[in-house]
Amino acid sequence: MSTTLLHDARILTMDAAGREIERGWLLVEGDTIRALGSGEAPPRTEAERVDCAGDLVMPGFVNAHAHLAMTLFRGLAEDIDDRLYRYILPLERRFVTAEVVRAGTALAAAESIRGGVTTLADMYYFETQVGRVLAHAGLRGVVGQTIADFAAPDHADMEAGWRRVADLVAEFEEHPLVTPSLAPHAPYSTGLATLERVVRWSADHPALPVQMHLAESDLEVRWARENHDATPVRAIAPTGVLRANLLGAHVIHVDERDVALLAENGVRAATNPRSNGKAGRGIAPVERLRAAGIPVGIGTDGPMSGNTLDLFAQLAPVSMFAKLLAGSRRPLPARDVVRMATVEGARALGLEARIGSLEPGKQADLLRVDLSAARLQPIYDTHAALVFAATPADIRATMVAGRWLMRDRVVETVDEAKAVADARQIALAFGAEMRRIDEGTAP
Amino acid sequence: MSTTLLHDARILTMDAAGREIERGWLLVEGDTIRALGSGEAPPRTEAERVDCAGDLVMPGFVNAHAHLAMTLFRGLAEDIDDRLYRYILPLERRFVTAEVVRAGTALAAAESIRGGVTTLADMYYFETQVGRVLAHAGLRGVVGQTIADFAAPDHADMEAGWRRVADLVAEFEEHPLVTPSLAPHAPYSTGLATLERVVRWSADHPALPVQMHLAESDLEVRWARENHDATPVRAIAPTGVLRANLLGAHVIHVDERDVALLAENGVRAATNPRSNGKAGRGIAPVERLRAAGIPVGIGTDGPMSGNTLDLFAQLAPVSMFAKLLAGSRRPLPARDVVRMATVEGARALGLEARIGSLEPGKQADLLRVDLSAARLQPIYDTHAALVFAATPADIRATMVAGRWLMRDRVVETVDEAKAVADARQIALAFGAEMRRIDEGTAP
């Protein structure tokens, strides 16, 4: 079992007491944090000693909502209102194969490791491929196989979708890093009968999370009103799908009764401010959700919508949006935003017993962050520096389950050059198809 | 005269036609762009040849509103509603000297060069010091000496403030990089009599810009209503200060008549989305301002408010805020945001004849941007990559007036290590004073 002793580090534990250590050490044995403390490190001659030279050591970020393989759609047809129906869905149907999902996810894995994300919640197609790529990269993932009533790239009908779910569970149920998950696409695109089946599936798989887009768009609000004379949350409540294994992504269009209903049933949430902002969808009421006791993690959404997969790009928007809603500087202080990005994100994914903070017995998922850049100086408050000024370039090293995925800013577990080259190759095909769509010559 | 030939570059000219060159070259003679074109570079044996190897070459960013020396207050007392009156103003009065302004501005210059900002509009105290630091760093600046009715760190009364303005003009009137400017703090903090004197000053200095915070806060709206039964814009209109040399910063609280009045009088604007968002102040109606023909540049505000001095951190918020206001993905497409950050920012500062785009005859203020990072791939649209995914770490080199300020990510014109060390030293004094304020033992 490998043993690593990090010393001379500034440590942000993100434990319940919010303990910060000015100069301390942290001992990793195998995949687990064994001990940590302040001052001089204990002599452990058998451990690999890493002098952190004053760098910050903190828990890895939890990306609570993503569509990793959509790196391949990053920046495609930005600012065009009907991009989803005009380009994205046709491209997905024609081009998204197991191979393409592997390529897009590999690029996403490299970007995530550079961005300090150690755990990701994903929803997409060919999800066993996503699980395999993440496992190979050494990342921790909650990988959600999408099921939807519309024709999806990996299932022609709903039964085929359920078979994909069963395969995913069979492959990853006992995996140390990858947790299989079921991802009904959204209320309007799956329908209530399918959600009832989701509830039966959950009864058979009580430990596995369900992920769903929830209360995200005007389209969905209209669907709920016209078909069920209700809000999206109350439209689906009768199916029983609102339970403690549900992670709702976005959760923008909710009223007081919806919030109470979600809280009573232990539902968790993932907010995606850049994606929501860029689409002009609105601002999620994060303060109200948290005040009701709902754990709210921070997600990037897919790079088609949110462009990047690092949480730094999301942290300031999370804070700004809450302050704009309230008309005050007070809501969501930097300290709370860092909590949401780490330990609260872990709660949103149901993984709080294993990750999210640096405490003995927890998994060694951590970052070494170089705080020396001019743009971070001076540092009166580490949380404020992380939320409002740091970028992925400040991360020096990323560890998951005791394994270094990046050291000295070199990614060690993903062939980054190949991932970039593969993505560019696929993008050429996408670009050519877009031109055919514009010319009306697409098949 | 030095001659530099950049070749094998992807070039974003930001000229009126929006010309982009897939693979091209650009010739700099002295401080000026002499020629540019596509394909193979012309043989110029006397020129230093720089192989850009596919990197992007684009105009430098224009930071249209900043308080550079406030790097020293970065992250101080974040999220505290009365931070300005409780900490910042007392700290400024007690500690802000010419020496401290030089130190804070040097740190800001290093950060700006790394962030690709080649021109800055500054408003602060001891502004001749700011001009000297920028000139030494090789940055282009519009440096605005603040005058205000409240006791300021560098003038005990208004007459002393006007003497500072005269000294600034005398020192920099003929400077190739630094343009002196007058900066009445804000309508509520200078008053109408002073603004009338600003108008007389402008008549004597027709080429020099005036900068002022305008329609920024609820406090200011209340002041205008209670004292002048008007909006802030209409309250100050009778003084004649609304003229083509005025750059208004923030411009949030304006109605249709205000926008028309600003447009008719040729006033320019600087929007500061992160600062406004973080303070919960509201969203500036950037689309309406631009639709009325008002040039809107993008500012960072001071690092006390906006935390960083690179425009990348502002670009996505500019776009998101406009989309959120409109409830649509369409407003402020990425291409327009890059325009605002470059050529439109130059117009906002009255410098459009000299900078803002890469065209023969214009000043050679440009960036070399490395677009190879995994998080930028694939690139369907350079503008989208710049607005939604790029960070300062992607900038490889920065040139102003034909002089490299940074090459291969090494800042050459500012002693960065000294700037960081000086800032940390000053921050120790600020921190000690804050503790005295909290204990009630401050003098």
pLDDT level of residue B46 (50, 70, 90 thresholds): confident
Query: Rounded CA gap, B291 and A248, in Å?
Result: 38
**Interface membership of B282 toward A (CB under 8 Å):** yes
Contact check, Cβ <8 Å, B320/A317:
yes
> Do B298 and B308 belong together in one domain?
yes
Nearest to B100, CA basis, from B339, B428, B384 = B428
Amino acid A1: pLDDT: 77
Per-residue pLDDT reduced to its tens digit, B368-391: 999 999 999 999 999 999 999 999
Contact check, Cβ <8 Å, A324/B378:
no
User: Which chain B residues touch A83 with a CB distance below 8 Å?
Assistant: 329
> Do A253 and A297 belong together in one domain?
yes
pLDDT level of residue A377 (50, 70, 90 thresholds): very high
- Out of B329, B380, B424, the one facing A279 most closely (by C-beta) is B329
What is the residue whose two structure tokens read 């343009």?
Answer: B179
Mean pLDDT of B228-255: 98
For B398, the domain range is 3-59+357-411
User: Which chain A residues touch B316 with a CB distance below 8 Å?
Assistant: 274, 277-278, 307, 313, 317
- Out of A372, A383, A391, the one facing B393 most closely (by C-beta) is A391
Q: What is the largest CA-CA distance in chain B?
A: 70
> Do B232 and B88 belong together in one domain?
yes
> Do A189 and A121 belong together in one domain?
yes
In this predicted structure, which of A80-89, A111-120, B245-254 has the lowest mean pLDDT? Answer: A80-89
> How distant, in Å, are the alpha carbons of A312, A355, A441, B74 from that of A61?
9, 10, 44, 24
User: Which chain B residues touch A277 with a CB distance below 8 Å?
Assistant: 316-317, 320-321, 323-324
CA B169 distance to own-chain centroid: 20
ipTM of the complex: 0.96
Query: Rounded CA gap, A116 and A301, in Å?
Result: 16
Q: Is residue A295 part of a domain?
A: yes
Amino acid A28: pLDDT: 97
Amino acid A122: pLDDT: 98
> Do A321 and A214 belong together in one domain?
yes
Mean pLDDT of B231-255: 98
Pairing of strands B48-51, B296-298: unpaired
User: Which chain A residues touch B219 with a CB distance below 8 Å?
Assistant: none
Amino acid B273: pLDDT: 98
Q: What CATH number is attached to the domain comprising A335?
A: 3.20.20.140
> Do A259 and A406 belong together in one domain?
no
**Interface membership of A388 toward B (CB under 8 Å):** yes
Per-residue pLDDT reduced to its tens digit, A208-253: 999 999 999 999 999 999 999 999 999 999 999 999 999 999 999 9
Look up residue B193 and give its two tokens. Answer: 């009599």
User: Which chain B residues touch A72 with a CB distance below 8 Å?
Assistant: 378
Q: Is residue B431 part of a domain?
A: no
Q: Phi, psi at residue A199, to the nearest 5°?
A: -65, -40
pLDDT level of residue B45 (50, 70, 90 thresholds): confident
Q: What is the CA radius of gyration of chain A?
A: 21
Which residues 6+ apart lie within 8 Å of B149 measured at CB? B158, B189, B190, B191, B194
Amino acid A151: pLDDT: 82
Nearest to B262, CA basis, from B270, B252, B272, B254 = B254
Amino acid A46: pLDDT: 87
pLDDT level of residue B14 (50, 70, 90 thresholds): very high
**Interface membership of A379 toward B (CB under 8 Å):** yes
Query: Rounded CA gap, B366 and B385, in Å?
Result: 18
Q: Is residue A434 part of a domain?
A: no
* B4-18 CB burial, b ≥16 within 10 A, e <16: bbbbbbbbbbbbeee
First-last CA distance in chain B: 55
* B253-291 CB burial, b ≥16 within 10 A, e <16: bbeeebbebbeebebbbbbbbbbbbbbbbbbbbbbbbbe
Q: What CATH number is attached to the domain comprising B14?
A: 2.30.40.10
Q: Is residue A76 part of a domain?
A: yes
Query: Rounded CA gap, B123 and B65, in Å?
Result: 8
**Please, are residues A8 and A40 in contact by the beta-carbon 8 Å criterion?**
no
pLDDT level of residue B314 (50, 70, 90 thresholds): very high
Total residues belonging to chain A: 443
- Whether the pLDDT of residue A150 is over 90: the answer is no
Per-residue pLDDT reduced to its tens digit, A352-363: 999 999 999 999
Residue B434 CB neighbour total at 10 angstroms: 18
Per-residue pLDDT reduced to its tens digit, B178-222: 999 999 999 999 989 999 999 999 999 999 999 999 999 999 999
Of the three residues A307, A326, A348, the one that is the final residue of a domain is A348
> Do A375 and A250 belong together in one domain?
no
Query: Rounded CA gap, A125 and A110, in Å?
Result: 20
Amino acid A79: pLDDT: 79
**Interface membership of B415 toward A (CB under 8 Å):** no
- Out of A110, A384, A416, the one facing B75 most closely (by C-beta) is A384
Amino acid B151: pLDDT: 82
Amino acid B43: pLDDT: 86
> Do A268 and A400 belong together in one domain?
no
- Out of B277, B324, B431, the one facing A380 most closely (by C-beta) is B431
Amino acid B442: pLDDT: 84
* A355-390 CB burial, b ≥16 within 10 A, e <16: bbbbbeebbbbbbbbbbebbbbbbbbbbbbbbbbbb
Mean pLDDT of B136-158: 94
Contact check, Cβ <8 Å, A307/B389:
yes
Q: What is the CA radius of gyration of chain B?
A: 21
Contact check, Cβ <8 Å, A388/B308:
yes
Nearest to B92, CA basis, from B111, B72, B110 = B72
Query: Rounded CA gap, B434 and B426, in Å?
Result: 13
Question: What percentage of chain A exceeds 70 in pLDDT?
Answer: 100
Residue A337 CB neighbour total at 10 angstroms: 27
> Do A337 and A374 belong together in one domain?
no
pLDDT level of residue B44 (50, 70, 90 thresholds): confident
- Whether the pLDDT of residue B1 is over 80: the answer is no
CA A323 distance to own-chain centroid: 23
Query: Rounded CA gap, B52 and B279, in Å?
Result: 41
Contact check, Cβ <8 Å, B323/A279:
yes
Q: Is residue A421 part of a domain?
A: no
**Interface membership of A74 toward B (CB under 8 Å):** yes
Q: Is residue A279 part of a domain?
A: yes
CA A291 distance to own-chain centroid: 22
What is the residue whose two structure tokens read 């034909």?
Answer: B402
- Whether the pLDDT of residue B351 is over 90: the answer is yes
Contact check, Cβ <8 Å, B321/A277:
yes
Amino acid A426: pLDDT: 97
> How distant, in Å, are the alpha carbons of A195, A209, B177, B366 from that of B31?
66, 61, 11, 11
- Out of B77, B308, B324, the one facing A283 most closely (by C-beta) is B324
User: Which chain A residues touch B424 with a CB distance below 8 Å?
Assistant: 377-378
Amino acid A319: pLDDT: 97
Q: Which H or E run includes A213? A: strand A210-214
Burial (CB < 10 A; 0-12, 13-18, 19+), residue A347, is buried
- Whether the pLDDT of residue B38 is over 80: the answer is yes
Residue A354 CB neighbour total at 10 angstroms: 18
Pairing of strands B61-66, B117-124: parallel
Burial (CB < 10 A; 0-12, 13-18, 19+), residue A438, is exposed
Amino acid A43: pLDDT: 86
Pairing of strands B210-214, A395-400: unpaired
Contact check, Cβ <8 Å, A324/B283:
yes
User: Which chain A residues touch B82 with a CB distance below 8 Å?
Assistant: none
Nearest to A93, CA basis, from A133, A125, A132 = A125
Nearest to A9, CA basis, from A27, A21, A1 = A21
Amino acid B158: pLDDT: 92
Query: Rounded CA gap, B365 and B118, in Å?
Result: 6
Contact check, Cβ <8 Å, B377/A308:
no
> Do A20 and A89 belong together in one domain?
no
Q: Is residue B432 part of a domain?
A: no
Q: Shortest Cα distance from A264 to chain B (angstroms)?
A: 30
Torsion of CA B269, B273, B274, B280, to 10 degrees: 110
Contact check, Cβ <8 Å, B381/A75:
yes
- Out of B81, B320, B377, the one facing A329 most closely (by C-beta) is B81
Q: Is residue B75 part of a domain?
A: yes
> Do B168 and B115 belong together in one domain?
yes
**Per-chain mean pLDDT for chain A:** 96
Pairing of strands B32-38, B210-214: unpaired
Pairing of strands B20-29, B3-12: antiparallel
- For chain B, the domain total comes to 2
CA B227 distance to own-chain centroid: 31
Q: Shortest Cα distance from A45 to chain B (angstroms)?
A: 35
> Do B48 and B71 belong together in one domain?
no
Q: Which of A79, A332, A411 to mutate to test the interface with B (most CBs of B within 10 A)?
A: A79
User: Which chain B residues touch A327 with a CB distance below 8 Å?
Assistant: 280-282
Q: Which H or E run includes B201? A: helix B192-204
**Interface membership of B76 toward A (CB under 8 Å):** yes
Query: Rounded CA gap, B94 and B260, in Å?
Result: 42
> How distant, in Å, are the alpha carbons of B183, B270, B272, B387 from that of B339?
25, 13, 15, 11
Contact check, Cβ <8 Å, A80/B114:
no
User: Which chain B residues touch A278 with a CB distance below 8 Å?
Assistant: 316, 319-320, 323, 329, 388
**Interface membership of B221 toward A (CB under 8 Å):** no
pLDDT level of residue A433 (50, 70, 90 thresholds): very high
Query: Rounded CA gap, B33 and A344, in Å?
Result: 52
Contact check, Cβ <8 Å, B393/A393:
yes
Question: What percentage of chain B exceeds 90 in pLDDT?
Answer: 95
pLDDT level of residue A443 (50, 70, 90 thresholds): confident
**A362 φψ region: left (φ > 0), alpha (ψ -120 to 50), beta (else):** beta
Amino acid B150: pLDDT: 80
Amino acid A418: pLDDT: 98
Q: What is the CA angle A310-A352-A214, rounded to 5?
A: 65
